[in-house]
Amino acid sequence: MNSSIWLSPPVAFGILFAVSALLSLLGGRLAFRRRGPKPSGSGKGYACGEDFKGHGAQPDYSSFFPFAFFFTILHVVALAVASVPAVNAGIFAIAAVYCAGAVIGLSVLQRR
Ramachandran region, residue 46 (left: φ > 0; alpha: ψ -120 to 50; beta: rest)? beta
Confidence of residue 62 (pLDDT cuts 50, 70, 90): confident
Per residue in 96-111, pLDDT (tens digit) is: 888 888 888 888 877 7
Confidence of residue 58 (pLDDT cuts 50, 70, 90): low
Helix (H, G, I), strand (E, B) or coil at 55: coil
Of 90, 111, 92, which is closest to residue 100 (Cα–Cα)? Answer: 92
Rounded Cα–Cα distance for residues 21 and 42 (Å): 31
Task: Look over the chain and give the mean of its residue pLDDT values, rounded to a whole number.
Answer: 78
Q: What is the pTM of this model?
A: 0.41
Taking residues 14-30, report their average pLDDT.
93
Element (H, E) at 22: helix 9-30
Rounded Cα–Cα distance for residues 69 and 67 (Å): 5
Q: How many residues does the chain have?
A: 112
Q: HSE-up of 102 (CA within 13 Å, CB side)?
A: 19
Q: What is the pLDDT of residue 79?
A: 87
Taking residues 72-81, report their average pLDDT.
85
